[in-house]
Amino acid sequence: MTAEFLPTGIAAAAVPPGGLVVADVRGTKVAIANVGGTYYAFDDTCTHQQCSLADGDLAETTVTCMCHGAEFDVRTGEVLAPPAPSPVRVYRVRVEAGALQIEIG
């Protein structure tokens, strides 16, 4: 299956800078973060205990899971602090007619 941009059903304006939302895109829960006007998308499910990362806190490019404090870089999905054992997947984001779309393959 080739990658394609899919609608998230979320308006870009609904995610203010520093904000986090979760979108369900074809059954995949994807978190979208707004870092100073740039949007980043990544798997919403923490790789530690499956908590929602969109329920966590965003500080610059770091998202902190609210359950057990794991930290990820929203740009790369890389683990910045344990207990998460592995990175989260990241997705490309674009704004199309004021709405957020992410690329899922």
Positions that interact with other proteins (CB under 8 A) = 49, 51, 55-57, 64-69, 82-83, 85
Cβ at position 82, least distance to other proteins in Å? 6
CB of 31 to other proteins, least distance (A): 14
Nearer to other proteins, 9 or 82 (CB): 82
Nearest approach, Cβ of residue 102 and other proteins (Å): 24
Q: Are 77 and 42 spatial neighbours (Cβ–Cβ below 8 Å)?
A: yes
CB burial of 27-61 (b: ≥16 within 10 Å; e: otherwise) equals eeebbbbbbeeebbbbbbbbbbeebbbbebebeeb
User: Alpha-carbon distance 79 to 84, whole Å?
Assistant: 7
CB of 13 or CB of 81, closer to other proteins: 81
